[in-house]
């Protein structure tokens, strides 16, 4: 007598295997992107009496992926141009971003490494994270940062 397997058993085994593979693939994707960030939003804010230009450089794995220059009006600007959203690839494309922000004269430089940003977020886990990052030019012209979890992703 030869052993046989019913179609039901074959189908159940196949579906079970597919389920295990799908779960494993999802878990691996979440694990692989655990250091990926999206900045929603990344904004600059000027509290000084002077206009300032910020140069924002984003890098991933030591490779520069974006550089942009943004002008901020003095604090209390009537048109609200003392605060500005800083657009870049981090809005739509999660990656292991690190940021370097410098004033126009390079007098003040702020570096936020990827690991530092993630450490400052609450309830991080597997998968990419959404961060709200605000770069502030203080009254004295120095640079400070605030990092919080964003609900915009």
Contacts of 82 (CB under 8 A, 6+ apart): 45, 46, 47, 72, 73, 74, 75, 76
Structure tokens that stand for 14 in this block: 């196949």
**Residue 22's pLDDT is what?**
64
Q: In percent, how much of the chain has pLDDT > 70?
A: 88
The model's pTM is 0.76
CB-CB contact of 6 with 13 (8 Å): no
Q: Max Cα separation, the chain?
A: 92
Contacts of 137 (CB under 8 A, 6+ apart): 44, 45, 46, 47, 48, 52, 54, 72, 103, 143
What is the mean pLDDT of the segment spanning 97-120? 92
Predicted confidence (pLDDT) per residue in 19-30, tens digit: 776 666 555 555
CATH code, 37-149: 2.60.40
3-state secondary structure of 17: helix
Question: What is the residue extent of each domain of the chain?
Answer: 1-32, 37-149
Q: Where are the alpha helices (DSSP H) in 65-113?
A: none
What is the mean pLDDT of the segment spanning 132-146? 95
Apex CA 55: angle with CA 101 and CA 141, to 5°?
A: 65
Distance between the two ends of the chain, CA-based, in angstroms?
60
């Amino acid at each position: 007598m030869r052993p046989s397997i019913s179609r039901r058993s074959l189908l159940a085994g196949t579906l079970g295997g597919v389920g295990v593979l799908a779960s494993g693939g999802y878990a691996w994707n979440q694990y692989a992107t655990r250091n990926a960030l999206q900045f929603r939003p990344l904004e600059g804010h000027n509290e000084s009496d002077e206009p300032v230009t910020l140069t924002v450089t984003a890098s991933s794995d030591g490779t520069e992926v974006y550089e942009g220059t943004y002008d901020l009006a003095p604090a209390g600007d009537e048109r609200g141009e003392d605060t500005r959203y800083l657009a870049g690839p981090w809005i739509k494309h999660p990656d292991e971003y690190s940021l370097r922000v410098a004033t126009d004269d390079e007098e003040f430089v702020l570096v936020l490494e990827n690991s530092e940003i993630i450490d400052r977020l609450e309830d991080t886990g597997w998968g990419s994270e959404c961060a709200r990052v605000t770069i502030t030019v203080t009254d004295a012209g120095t640079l400070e940062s605030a990092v919080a979890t964003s609900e915009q992703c």
